[in-house]
Amino acid sequence: MSLEQYWKKRKFDKTPEPKGKVLKTSKNRFVVHDHYAIKAGHHHDFRLEMDGVLKSWAVPKGVPEKKGKRVLAIQTEDHPVSYADFQGEIPEGCYGAGVVKVFDKGTYKLIEKTENKLVFELKGGKLKGKYTLLRFKKPKHWLLFKSN
């Protein structure tokens, strides 16, 4: 795992985002950021702590809170685990410019992991229960839905 892409996209003298590092913990955190992006518009960024980084997906329609809705989740660059606590305003002209807030956070239990499928149980304040991420188009397009 590497944060090269994350670092390459950002100028740390301009953005308040953490530079971070790869750091393996046993915390199994997840976080959903509300990202009011100037360019892309409001979306969720869903992040799962895994292998020392936060695996990340942009979810344009938001992470479903109920069963029955399948949404597109576009995998983005791995983020440092310290990003789980990040909230702030990324200045105009910077990558991801706009306001970032934490929508929900908590821990998760991994149920299944293959190259194209992740099943996990979220234990957050708002998001609770079993979720699936299913890759349907390589390399970056996944479906995210609540399965239980």
Q: Does 104 bind Mn ion (CB under 5 A)?
A: no
- Number of chain residues interacting with Mn ion (CB under 5 A): 2
Q: Which of residues 38-57 bind Mn ion (CB under 5 A)?
A: 45
Burial group, residue 75, by CB count within 10 angstroms (0-12, 13-18, 19+): middle
CA dist 86 and 34 (Å) reads 11
Query: Judged by CB under 5 A, does residue 35 bind Mn ion?
Result: yes
- Residue whose CB is less far from Mn ion, 34 or 121: 34
Cβ proximity to Mn ion: between 60 and 125 the closer is 60
77 part of the interface to Mn ion, by CB under 5 A: no
CA dihedral 96, 99, 103, 108 (to 10 degrees): 30
At closest approach, how far in Å is the CB of 58 from Mn ion?
5
**CB hemisphere CA count around 13 (13 angstroms):** 0
Which stretches of the chain bind Mn ion, using CB under 5 A? 35, 45
